[in-house]
């Protein structure tokens, strides 16, 4: 299931610090689990999360198997100008998911 | 700890025989663990030869977690977050999961505030360490202890 | 006449309640027994992992499917109005089948009969998404399953299951959930066992799951053979549990440890 839930305030004042919340469905399979027959379940995690604001990178996270399934990441950024915030998740097995949200800055 | 492991494995074997469904259930087996020493090594990889001071960074974790699979965590650091003086990165480590690294957050002056929240997995009662990397090259640390218990009932996944 | 009979049935049910039953005003949702952090996760729609399934359910609701190439929305319109209260009323009596059915079974009946699509497997991503989306529309409403002369035998059967000792550990549901709720079993607090928030995101599963998954998990926990998904025994028990939780506020999609 590859969908993302993001929360960006639609409007903000210039210079205001806004909070951004993101969540994406992903099992974050650690690679340490085994089936009942003893076979290892291979690792399958999101490794990188990047947020950009009108193309400029504002936040990055490097994830390890210790991040819980369906990773939730909340962070902040300064509202500088109107435009688009884009979020990208990449990981094992070629996983790649993008989401974006507009923001109007007065 | 090993007593709990063998009880768990025994009950799993009984449960597996009793339930006998043909599903490919997944069980968690205790793998080789990180140790406080390997956590220190992972921290060394990030800070290099620099001296790590205590302070300026806070780690918000529940002292008793409801479930080790999902433990809410907030890392905060005091900083004006200006171009001249800001938090470059926040790194989190643990001492008893299979791997010592948890997550690294890359920030910068555009963050406005050095505060990031996420949810982590903790395999056992342990200490979690957060390292804050400042733009002036200094490193700051804090730690928190979290009690983690196994779920009372075992069930097929 | 029907109302009178229904009232008689209710009175009979209440009278036959066993001594250990939780008095109605003392009933509490598992929400009240959770930590502040887990409660905060449930309360915030932008942080509740169950909302990932609700979002997917909304997409599926509007998607044409099956040989009839029909979307749920075509017959049911906007779920926010048409599905309001539906999950809080299920399991509900299905005259065609002559017995109560769960929300999952109702969704599948629609898929097979109206959309001419294959039934969705229990605990499949799509079935969880659709039931989560429908259940979300009942959030905040009181649980209200219909107990009348049609459903009474099934509630009674469910009640019998709740009070019957089962499994290698020879435990009945009421022994933990009526008599020992609030106490700890190993590291966990024992809840009263009201299905106020299903389907819910369980931290132990790291996924959303149905009430049937949880009940089967409990049965495995007491070392009993778990009833099959959709089995009459399980549906009757769910109906009883919803009756036991009558009037309590529906919270789906909840978060639980």
Domain positions in chain B are: 33-146
pLDDT for res B32: 57
Say if residues C37 and C257 touch (Cβ distance below 8 Å): no
More confident: B13 or C152 = C152
Note the CATH number of domain C30-256.
Answer: 1.10.760.10
Say if residues B92 and B129 touch (Cβ distance below 8 Å): yes
Question: What kind and span of H or E run contains B132?
Answer: strand B126-134
The minimum CA-CA distance between B157 and chain A, rounded to whole Å, is 10
Inter-chain touch A65–B98, beta carbons under 8 Å: yes
Q: Between C46, C47, C206, which is nearest A69 by CB? A: C206
- Residue B69: which region, alpha, beta or left (left: phi > 0; alpha: psi -120 to 50)? alpha
The minimum CA-CA distance between B149 and chain A, rounded to whole Å, is 16
Residue B23 confidence (pLDDT) above 60:
no
Residue B15 confidence (pLDDT) above 60:
no
Say if residues A60 and B105 touch (Cβ distance below 8 Å): yes
pLDDT digits (tens, 9 = 90+) for C87-145: 999 999 999 999 999 999 999 999 999 999 999 999 999 999 999 999 999 999 999 99
pLDDT for res B150: 79
The sheet carrying C255-256 orders its strands as C207-209, C200-202, C255-256
d(CA C73, CA C56): 14
- Residue C234: which region, alpha, beta or left (left: phi > 0; alpha: psi -120 to 50)? alpha
pLDDT band (50, 70, 90) for residue C5: low
Give the total residue count for chain A. 106
- Per-window interface: A 23-62 vs B, CB < 8 A: 30, 32-37, 41, 53, 56, 58-62
Inter-chain touch B151–C187, beta carbons under 8 Å: yes
Which chains have 3 or more CB–CB distances shorter than 8 Å to chain C? A, B
Mean of all residue pLDDT scores within chain A: 95
Closest A-chain CA to B17: A36
pLDDT band (50, 70, 90) for residue B33: low
C218 is catalytic: yes
Closest B-chain CA to A67: B120
pLDDT band (50, 70, 90) for residue C10: low
Per DSSP, the three-state class of A29 is strand
Sign of CA dihedral B36, B42, B43, B49: positive
Say if residues B146 and B71 touch (Cβ distance below 8 Å): yes
pLDDT digits (tens, 9 = 90+) for C149-173: 999 999 999 999 999 999 999 999 9
Domain spanning B33-146: CATH 2.40.50.140: no
Say if residues B10 and B154 touch (Cβ distance below 8 Å): no
pLDDT digits (tens, 9 = 90+) for C203-236: 999 999 999 999 999 999 999 999 999 999 999 9
The minimum CA-CA distance between A15 and chain C, rounded to whole Å, is 24
pLDDT digits (tens, 9 = 90+) for B70-84: 999 999 999 999 999
Domains and CATH numbers, chain A: 4-29+41-53+69-105 (2.60.40.10)
pLDDT for res B156: 60
pLDDT for res C121: 98
Omega into C91 within 30° of 0, i.e. cis?
yes
Inter-chain touch A23–C55, beta carbons under 8 Å: no
Residues in C closer than 8 angstroms to B62, CB to CB, are 35, 37
d(CA C127, CA C109): 12
- Residue C247: which region, alpha, beta or left (left: phi > 0; alpha: psi -120 to 50)? left
Instruction: Decide if the complex's ipTM is over 0.90.
Output: yes
Q: What is the DSSP letter of C253?
A: S
pLDDT for res B14: 43
């Amino acid at each position: 299931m590859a969908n993302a839930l993001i929360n960006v305030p639609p409007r903000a004042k210039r210079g205001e610090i806004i909070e951004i919340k993101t969540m994406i469905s992903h099992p974050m399979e650690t690679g340490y689990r085994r089936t009942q027959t003893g076979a290892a379940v291979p690792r399958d995690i999101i490794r990188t999360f990047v947020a950009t604001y009108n193309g400029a990178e504002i936040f990055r996270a490097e994830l390890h198997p210790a991040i819980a399934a369906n990773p939730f990441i909340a962070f902040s950024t300064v509202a500088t100008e109107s435009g688009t915030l884009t979020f990208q998740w990449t990981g094992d097995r070629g996983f790649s998911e993008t989401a974006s949200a507009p923001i109007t800055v007065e | 700890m090993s007593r709990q492991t063998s009880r768990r494995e025994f009950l799993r074997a009984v449960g597996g025989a009793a339930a006998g469904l043909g599903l490919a259930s997944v069980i968690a087996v205790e793998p080789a663990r990180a140790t406080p020493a390997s956590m220190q090594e992972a921290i060394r990889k990030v800070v290099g030869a620099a001296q790590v001071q205590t302070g300026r960074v806070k780690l918000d974790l529940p002292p008793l977690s409801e479930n080790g699979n999902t433990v809410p965590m907030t890392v905060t650091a005091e900083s004006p977050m200006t171009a001249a003086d800001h938090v470059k990165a926040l790194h989190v480590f643990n001492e008893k999961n299979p791997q010592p690294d948890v997550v690294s957050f890359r920030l910068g002056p555009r963050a406005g505030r050095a505060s990031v929240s996420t949810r982590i997995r903790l395999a056992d009662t342990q200490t979690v360490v957060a390292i804050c990397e400042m733009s002036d090259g200094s490193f700051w640390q804090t730690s928190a202890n979290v009690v983690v218990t196994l779920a009372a009932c075992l069930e097929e996944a | 006449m029907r109302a009178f009979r229904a009232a008689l049935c209710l009175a009979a049910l209440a009278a036959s309640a066993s001594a250990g039953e939780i008095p109605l005003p003392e009933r509490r949702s598992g929400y009240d027994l959770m930590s502040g952090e887990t409660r905060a996760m449930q309360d915030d729609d932008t942080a509740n992992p169950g909302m990932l399934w609700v979002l997917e359910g909304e997409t599926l609701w509007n998607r044409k499917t099956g040989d009839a190439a029909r979307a749920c929305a075509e017959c049911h319109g906007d779920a926010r109005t048409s599905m309001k209260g539906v999950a809080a009323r299920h399991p509900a009596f299905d005259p065609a089948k002559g017995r109560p059915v769960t929300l999952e079974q109702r969704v599948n009946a629609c898929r097979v009969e109206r959309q001419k699509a294959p039934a969705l497997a229990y605990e499949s991503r799509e079935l969880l998404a659709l039931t989560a989306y429908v259940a979300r529309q009942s959030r905040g409403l009181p649980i209200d399953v219909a107990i009348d002369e049609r459903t009474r035998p099934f509630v009674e059967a469910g009640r019998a299951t709740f009070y019957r000792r089962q499994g290698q550990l020879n435990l009945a549901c009421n022994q933990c959930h009526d008599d020992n709720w609030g106490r700890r079993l190993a590291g966990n607090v024992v809840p009263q066992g009201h299905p106020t928030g299903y389907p819910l995101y369980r931290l132990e599963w790291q996924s959303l799951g149905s009430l049937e998954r949880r009940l089967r998990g409990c049965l495995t926990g007491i070392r009993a053979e778990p009833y099959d998904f959709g089995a009459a025994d399980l549906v009757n028990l769910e109906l009883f549990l919803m009756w036991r939780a009558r009037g309590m506020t529906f919270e789906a999609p909840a978060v639980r440890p």
